[in-house]
Structure 1
Amino acid sequence: MNAFFKTMNELQHESSPYLLQHANNPIHWKAWNDTTLATAKTENKLMIVSIGYSACHWCHVMEHESFEDNEVAQVMNAGFIAVKVDREERPDVDAIYMKAVQLMTGHGGWPLNVVCLPDGRPVWGGTYFKKDNWIDILNQLYNLYQSNPAKVTEYAEKLHEGISFLGIVNHTNANPEEQDPAHIKALIEKWSKSFDWEFGGYARAPKFMMPNNYLFLQRFGYQTSSKDLLDFVDLTLTRMAYGGLFDVLGGGFSRYSVDMRWHVPHFEKMLYDNGQLMSLYAEAYKRTQSPLYKEVIEKTMDFVQRELLNPDGGFYSALDADSINPKQQLEEGAYYVWQKETLQQLLQSDFDIFSTLFNINDFGYWEHDNYVLIQSQSLENIADQFGLTVAELAHKKQQWERLLFQEQLKRPKPRLDDKSLTSWNAIMLKGCIDAYNAIGNKDYLKLAQDNASFIIQRLWSDEGHLWHTYKNGQSTIIGFLEDYAFTIDAFIALYQTTLEESYLYHAKQLTDYCFDHFYDETQQFFLFKAKNTSALIAEHYEIEDNVIPSSNSVMAGNLFTLGILFHNSHYEKTAMQMLNHVIPNIDYGSAFSNWLNLWMNLSTDNKELAVCGSDALSMIQLINQNYLPHVIVAGSTTASDIPFLQNRFDDNDTLFYICENKNCQLPVNTITTALNELAIK
């Protein structure tokens, strides 16, 4: 690429791995910032806003086909201001333009490409485009804007109205009868019609994991003694763990599978998925003591520590789907797939058993003579077929996995997105805590505490706000609501595990900051973007839960818990206002699963537990090993000023206080009695 293009492409000055991937394109890319937006207005040029992320396969395809092409560059450079956005760095920008594309086309995804007026209002958009189609569309839009700008502006105004309308929350309130969690059952019955009873998950492809859906369904199934629901959750978790989507060799989950069987993923591994799945499998392990779930936790934690841990105690964001193949070309999944001949050479006489276990057959075949390892039968069934004990087969499986993993390490690794995002770090922090509580590995607790220190020291400014992203010793971009919501949630969980009250006070401090800078009194929800930062073309309130729970649902849950622990009626009132606005709008449960989880807190099953005394920490550790989704836990080893714990410490005994709806029973002094009292009756 000549020096002129390199000078005109401003992405070389950015730190985002995704933006840097485009720094050598012949496009005159600019980053999203106030200077770029002012330039578009000054030059009166349409803007192309192109949004993606570093691990996105189809983003790479469009880059290779179009953004590396000089013919495309001539069109884009001559008539437009071209802006590249890393959706992970700027989820606020992504959310607004995703709404626009969904209004225009009925669907969305990445890469996300939008053409906007110079003031940022969109006029056209879509996702992936082939080169010729892309050039044709841009030429048409350029010519229309030159010949009839009023028509383009009129369309932008109508679309802007639609985007702004989507940002308004329906303020219908649930009446007292509608607030009864018994109404959740009808939502579950409707939801369950989409369940896949053969492979788990939903009966459609592509297949996303949606961890929060199963955290809720597991809780609801447990509290209502629904064997069918619990069976479905276990079917889903087992099938996901069997491989393909889950990397049985190196650990960690890919983002989604393209088929119904959880077999062939888009091979990118995202921190947020793996953090949430740690929490999900940890809770499921507490309930079932399944060795498979424990194996998933341990392998995934090994993966995170090996591949995603930075020297400061933070976590990197993602591994790419693409890696270098034997032909020295970037290819999706090249690091993970196997050919039959290679496996035969490596496994020798064990190949027949291995190929039955991991389906080196039509079931496990992908494409181009490649197989993606996937288990479809239990170890018990396979062992029986080959006259082995389950222990013997399990031992062989471990040996095979170690052998292939060592062979895999000889391959070029997928590219790493080495920025650290506050929200995603907090999600993984929570996953580490939950994994520690479930299986007791102290390394996981240390990982969580080190990560908490990283967030406090590197991502929490002296002015009181959180930063959103960190790389190369620099923290940048003012934090969004998701950064606060997930950090508060993680700090509450870290307090509930360690009883170190500083974490709880940190959570409260961040909560109060959110009220000052994000809360909208009119809408009675929290804005996604802080009020004191540069405005976008419309306000955004993140309400619906998706692959990641919505920041408002997480904040509402935080307020509910902190309201109880600090006896703060304002927190509790706000949480209930938010929930009561959402309840009448819940049509399909999967899009509101974290709200449903909060709604379950109004169940008569829900309890609070305070453990106070010199042995409180060891007792809390035992309590946390149990599956108790309906219990809010707190405790102290000394006298505490936390309102929920005040006047409950006894120098001579460790006491368990069980409360329900602000009414507490007389304390008991044995953990067995406490657990019996907490059990679902």
Structure 2
Amino acid sequence: MANRLAQSLSPYLLQHADNPVDWWEWGEDAFAEAARRDVPVFLSVGYAACHWCHVMAHECFEDDEVAQVLSAGFVAVKVDREERPDVDAVYMAATTALTGHGGWPMTCLLTPAGDPFFAGTYLPKAQLLGLLDNAGRAWRDQREQVVASGSHVAQRLREVTGPPAPAAVGPEVLADAVVRLRGQYDDARGGFGGAPKFPPSMVLEFLLRHHARTGTADALAMVRGTCEAMARGGMYDQLGGGFARYAVDAAWVVPHFEKMLYDNALLLRVYAHLWRSTGDPLARRVAEETAAFLLRDLLTPEGAFASALDADTVVDGHSHEGLTYAWTPAQLAEVLGADDGPRAAALLEVTPEGTFEAGASTLQLRADPADPVWWEGVRARLLAARAERPQPARDDKVVTAWNGLAVAALADAGALLGRPDLVAAAARAADHVLATHLVDGVLHRTSRAGRVSQAPGVLDDHADLAEGLLALHQASGDARWFAAATELLDRALLRFVDDDGTVHDTAHDAPTLFSRPASRSDNAEPAGASALAHALLTAAALGGPTRHRAAAEQALAACGSVATGEPRFAGWALAVAEAVAAGPLQVAVVGDGPDAEALLAAVRRSGSPGLVHVAGAPDAPGIPLLASRPLVDGRAAAYVCRGFVCDRPVTDPGAVVAAVGPVPQA
């Protein structure tokens, strides 16, 4: 019989709707039921594209014996971490504190008050049943100790996970971060550290900005080495474009195959910016292929972007990781023929021994093909053949924050690469999210098929969406995106920032948890505080309220201790600090036609981290930078300003380049 999850909008929860486990969704009703029955809460947190979540579901939650034990002694609560990042954050902090590591699926036992007294990750059936038996007996026979333990854990976590003291992130911190990152850089294979290896998207953005401001060769070299290594390895989809979540090895050969919207949005922006810095054709190709992946595989009928493609492919009820993507030499020959098959195998490093499982290989492209026309034909044939294989499921919920990142990436890339179609796609996604997720002035976290969920928007939803709208405003010149962004930021300041400037991930009026999350570390996405700092800084430079600049600096300082101590986990905060150090540098282009386009193209060639720009008619309503900026002798003109103090307008693109500065080459 279907459980309570059958009415959920979350694809992850719907994956569990037919389990024999009597699941509840997170909410007051579940904890009230635990209190009424006087039993603990069994909390399971995961997400739809998670391989080990599928494994535990098959081993445990589809099992009648496990279901009976859970029903008898617990209230079982299932949470989609992507829908409720607030719940995930506080209990992941507990899991990490209690076990020394974290991950998904996350398994916690809670008192009816929500305090954790056990935490772990993936558990096979026997281990889970042993845990439930021991916990049940402890709850019956040692209730006071269990409750006291949970209360103590919650109190300690409130103490140790509170916001750190603010710290400035000035030029000395930025220079030191580059030195420290250089010490952790993998010269042979790119990236930082060993296996598993995650794409360091936000660190790469910081390094690009640092190079643009200072000309430091090491900064650009680390970006180029990492971006090339990732793009040529198996973590990048050599046929369809787009990146997997991470590589299980240090050489980027074997990925964890799930493809996430946030990774691909952040990396699309990095590769577009790397192309701007260097003109590297590989960077441009990867940017355009990643954009194509977003539009082909993650675009929803409503015009926004789905969350992810699963790590697994299901065949006959069984999950197989990588089945869609891995190849053997024989499979290549079957598709391409006796001549092209071995040639493609050599190019893509598909060997009889295999690099993945069961003699299959991931596809790598370690060198550019000698015959690009031949390769494009082969690539198209292999992609068509792959489309006939069983495909991974798509998590089609629309997440506000991740769509904000996608809007920013597509708007930036479209403007830089001369692709108005990408800017138009960004506008359609922004339109849908604003129309669907903003309900009576309150921003919600997710929707599916046009139906908005009740999950509250957290700080990064507000900040990342504002970031995307501001990038779209600069790419399109449309004033409505600037207005929508500044309204979102004002709401964020009102609901997520205390009177003393403390920034929180959840709103003042959000349902309370045992701890109020206030992350300062960038993880797979920018932290809420660093995302807020960047959006506020950009809005202020574009002519928004002056209070936005002060609030941006306050939010950046909130991330200062992480930026100083662990730069690998503060890439976005460091990128924001680069913008502070280099700006504000504002350029307003007035006029239309080829002359205005040439001026705007010159502006966009600059990688100055403090630069914002906008183009349109003189005194266009709703665009502060265009106010009192007339044409010059009837011609299009560019006004270059530093902190709203402007040089004389120029009409020559070369003069614009001289004024805003080209990216230093190294």
The TM-score bracket by the shorter chain reads over 0.9
Q: Which residue of 1 aligns with 2:642?
A: 660
Local SS of the residue matching 1:330: strand
Structure 1 residue 154, shift from structure 2 partner = 1.4
SS of structure 2 residue aligned to 1:371: coil
Q: Counterpart amino acid of 1:346?
A: V
Structure 1's unaligned 5+ residue stretches are 384-389
Distance in 2 between residues matched to 1:594 and 1:404, nearest whole Å: 37
Whether 1:423 aligns to 2:401 is yes
**CA contact 1:110–1:128 (8 Å) conserved in 2:** yes
Structure-1 separation of matches of 2:530 and 2:161: 16
SS in 2 for 1:51: strand
Distance across 2 between alignment mates of 1:180 and 1:31: 45
Q: Which residue of 1 aligns with 2:141?
A: 147
Q: CA deviation at 1:310?
A: 1.3
- Match of residue 678 from structure 1: 660
Is 1:338 equivalent to 2:315 in the alignment? no
The one-letter code matched in structure 1 to 2:414 is: Y
Matched, 1:631 2:600: no
CA change 1:565–1:438 in 2 (3 A) is closer
Q: Which of 517, 520, 525 is equivalent to 2:498?
A: 520
Query: Which of 633, 636, 648 is residue 629 of structure 2 equivalent to?
Result: 648
The corresponding residue for 2:170 is 180
C-alpha separation in 2, matches of 1:412 and 1:551: 37
- Which of 61, 64, 84 is the aligned partner of 2:55? 61
Q: Displacement of 1:302 after TM fit?
A: 2.2
Amino acid at match of 1:70: D
Structure 1 residue matching 2:570: 3-state secondary structure: helix
Deviations 1:532-555 (A, max 9, x none): 222111111122111101111111
Question: How far is the alpha carbon of 1:60 from its aligned partner?
Answer: 0.5
List aligned pairs for 1:105-116, cutoff 5 A.
105-116=99-110
Contact 2:24 2:30 in 1 (8 A): yes
Hey, what does 1:17 align to over in structure 2? 11
CA contact (8 A) 1:218 1:230 kept: yes
Q: CA–CA distance in 2 between the matches of 1:159 and 1:328?
A: 40
Tell me, in whole angstroms, the C-alpha distance in 1 between the residues paired with 2:546 and 2:458.
25
Q: Is the 8 A contact 1:484 1:510 kept in 2?
A: yes
For residues 569 and 300 of structure 1, the distance between their equivalents in structure 2, rounded to whole angstroms, comes to 37
Aligned residues: 656
How far does residue 37 in structure 1 lie from its aligned partner after superposition? 2.0
Per the alignment, residue 119 of structure 2 pairs with 125
Q: Is the aligned partner of 1:322 residue 2:308?
A: no
Secondary structure (helix, strand or coil) at the match of 1:115 reads strand
**Secondary structure of 1:520's match?**
coil
Deviations 1:368-414 (A, max 9, x none): 111111123x22xxx6xxxxxx4xx2122111111111111111111
Report the counterpart of residue 563 of structure 1 in structure 2: 540
Q: Counterpart in 1 of 2:78?
A: 84
Counterpart of 1:314, as a letter, is A
Which of 579, 586, 593 aligns to 2:556? It is 579
Is 2:600 the partner of 1:620?
Answer: yes
Closer/same/farther in 2, CA of residues 209 and 322 from structure 1, 3 Å limit:
same
Q: What SS is found at the alignment partner of 2:493? A: helix
In 1, the alpha carbon distance for the partners of 2:582 and 2:18 equals: 60
Instruction: Provide, for residues 402-439 of structure 1, a one-character-per-residue CA deviation record: whole Å limited to 9, x for no partner.
Output: 11111111111111111111111111111111221222
- Structure 1 range deviating more: 119-128 or 537-546: 537-546
SS at match of 1:207: coil
Asked if the contact 1:439–1:625 (Cα under 8 Å) also holds between the matched residues in 2, the reply is: no
Cα distance change on mapping 1:111 and 1:511 into 2, 3 Å:
same
TM-score in terms of structure 2 length: 0.94
After TM superposition, the structure 1 = structure 2 runs for residues 269-348 of structure 1, keeping only pairs within 5 Å, are 269-324=259-314, 329-347=318-336, 348=338
- Conserved? CA contact 1:181–1:602, under 8 Å: no
What amino acid sits opposite 2:265 in the alignment? G
423-432 or 651-660, which deviates more: 651-660
**1:328 positional shift:** 7.0
- Residue deviations 1:570-594 (CA, integer Å, cap 9, x gap): 2111221222343245201111111
Counterpart amino acid of 1:264?
V
Cα distance in 1, alignment partners of residues 333 and 352 from structure 2: 16
Distance between the aligned counterparts of 2:35 and 2:240, measured in 1?
Answer: 49
2:238/2:365 contact within 8 Å kept: no
Task: State whether structure 2 residue 258 is matched by structure 1 residue 268.
Answer: yes
Name the SS for the 1:526 alignment partner: coil
Change in Cα spacing, 1:152 to 1:316, as seen in structure 2 (3 Å) is same
1:532 to 509, 530, 535: 509
Letter in 1 for 2:405: I
CA spacing shift, 1:165–1:634, aligned 2, 3 Å: farther
**Structure 1 pair 328–35 and aligned structure 2 pair: CA distance change class (3 A):** closer
Q: By how many angstroms is 1:231 displaced?
A: 1.8
Tell me the equivalent position of 1:504. 482
* SS in structure 2 at match of 1:603: helix
Change (3 A) 1:456 1:578: closer
- CA displacement at 1:626 relative to structure 2: 4.4
- Aligned amino acid, residue 290 of structure 2: T
Question: Could you give the per-residue CA deviations for residues 74-103 of structure 1, whole angstroms, max 9, x where no partner exists?
Answer: 221111000000011111110110111111
Contact 1:564-1:644 within 8 A present in 2 as well: no
Q: Which range is displaced more, 636-645 or 255-264? A: 636-645
* Residue range with higher mean Cα deviation, 268-277 or 431-440: 431-440
Residue 596 of structure 1 deviates from its aligned partner by 0.9
Give a deviation string over 1:44-97, Cα, whole Å, max 9, x none. 210011000010000001111111112212221111000000011111110110
Q: Which moved further from structure 2: 160-169 or 422-431?
A: 160-169
Q: Percent identical across equivalent pairs? A: 32
Letter in 2 for 1:517: R
Does the aligned pair in 2 maintain the 1:271–1:318 contact within 8 Å? yes
Residue 208 of structure 1: CA displacement?
0.7
**SS of the residue 1:88 aligns to:** coil
Describe the SS at the equivalent of 2:473.
helix
Cα distance in 1 for partners of 2:533, 2:607 equals 22
For 1:460-475, what aligned pairs fall within 5 Å after superposition?
A: 460-461=438-439, 463-475=440-452
Report if the CA contact (8 A) 1:436-1:442 is conserved: yes
Once the two structures are TM-superposed, the CA of residue 660 in structure 1 deviates from its matched residue by 2.4
Query: Whole-Å Cα distance in 2 between the matches of residues 427 and 166 of structure 1?
Result: 30
- Where 1:312 maps in the other structure, the secondary structure is coil
Contact 1:210–1:548 (8 Å) recurs in 2: no
Partner residue, 2:382: 404
For residue 643 of structure 1, report the CA deviation from its aligned partner. Answer: 4.0
SS of the aligned residue for 2:581 comes to: coil
Residues 249 and 551 (structure 1), Cα distance of their counterparts in 2 relative to 1, 3 Å cut: same
Partner SS, residue 445 of structure 2 = strand
1:157 maps to a residue whose letter is S
